[in-house]
Amino acid sequence: MEQALDPSMLDGQTIVALIAGFAATGVISGILAGLLGVGGGIVIVPVLFWVLTLFHFPAAITSHLAVATSLAIIIPTSISSMRAHARRDNVDRALLSLWGPAVFVGALIGGIMSKFIPGGGLRLVFGVVGLLVAVNLSIPKHLVISNHLPKSAWVNRAIATVIGFISALMGIGGGTLSVPTLASFSFPVHRAVGTSSALGLLIAIPGVAGFIWAGLGVADRPPLSLGFVSLPAVLIIAPISYLVAPWGAHLAHVLNARYLKLAFAFFLAITAARMLVS
């Protein structure tokens, strides 16, 4: 099996470049978490996958490391974003109480199932869903299924469970899937973004727990890893994401994010396509 490079072989310039890259990832993911409700994982996962690939970690675990580490980073980011949105009364507590438990269960199942899903399977999920999200972001008008959420509590729970399951396998927060889903039911966009920041926390915590369990005892992981979670990457990216997430939440209320969404959709489409062919 291919072995990872010994960290002692890295020169100072490379280490500084990696730290700078992780820091930039933290800034970008934090702002996007607050601005678009995407939790940052949609950016973190492909970046970490690329970085870990550069260090020649085995392809069998590179995707798992990127997804699990992204979920761990999303925890503080979601807390910061949720608090910022809650101050603006954009967290719908009734919806959170209905969707929250189901999202939690779905994410936990996804994290546990990662033990039995190969790296190519995780990249396939990320690539396909990423392309769909990119298409959705580029469409001027949201697809509208109904002018209200389903009346059945069980239908709502089923939707939330699927969102939690897929989000955990992609290493993303709740907003990437829940915001367009809520918008399709004519849910107010600002409240959808705010509530999704809370759902992101309920995805990340059980998802991380599942990936930690799945990665215990797996060979060739990076140094200082807990299961599939790379602790050094978390310690660099998470604090920066936490600090800048409120900036994104503020921008969401003062800017027309249409052109930014189009640019992000283009970036996401390219990234998702590369994940599919990697």
**Are the C-beta atoms of residues 119 and 63 closer than 8 Å to each other?**
yes
Q: What is the pLDDT of residue 1?
A: 42
> How many domains is the chain built from?
1
CA distances for 252 relative to 73, 102, 246, 247, angstroms: 21, 27, 10, 9
Domain containing 16 equals 7-277
In a domain, 104, yes or no: yes
**CA–CA gap between residue 183 and residue 180 (Å, rounded):** 5
Q: What is the pLDDT of residue 70?
A: 94
189-208 confidence digits (pLDDT tens): 888 888 998 999 999 999 99
Our CA angle for 25, 34, 112, nearest 5°, is 70
Please give the residue that has the higher pLDDT: either 191 or 267. 191
Q: What is the pLDDT of residue 257?
A: 59
Of 32-41, 84-93, 108-117, 232-241, the range with the highest mean pLDDT is 108-117
In a domain, 89, yes or no: yes
- Residue 110 confidence class, pLDDT cut points 50, 70, 90: very high
Token pair, residue 234, equals: 């978390």
In a domain, 32, yes or no: yes
pTM metric for this prediction: 0.85
Average pLDDT over residues 164-172: 95
- Residue 33 confidence class, pLDDT cut points 50, 70, 90: low
* Least confident segment among 102-111, 255-264, 267-276: 255-264
Q: What is the pLDDT of residue 164?
A: 97
In a domain, 1, yes or no: no
DSSP 65-109: HHHHHHHHHHHHHHHHHHHHHHHTT---HHHHHHHHHHHHHHHHH
In a domain, 239, yes or no: yes
- Residue 10 confidence class, pLDDT cut points 50, 70, 90: low
Q: What is the pLDDT of residue 261?
A: 72
In a domain, 138, yes or no: yes
- Residue 31 confidence class, pLDDT cut points 50, 70, 90: confident
Q: Which of these, 271, 53, 101, 60, lies nearest to 172 by C-alpha position?
A: 271
Q: What is the pLDDT of residue 89?
A: 87
In a domain, 2, yes or no: no
Q: What is the pLDDT of residue 207?
A: 97
106: phi then psi, degrees, rounded to nearest 5: -60, -40
**CA–CA gap between residue 171 and residue 211 (Å, rounded):** 10
In a domain, 227, yes or no: yes
Helix residue ranges, H only, the chain: 12-36, 41-54, 59-87, 93-113, 119-138, 153-170, 175-184, 189-215, 231-254, 258-277
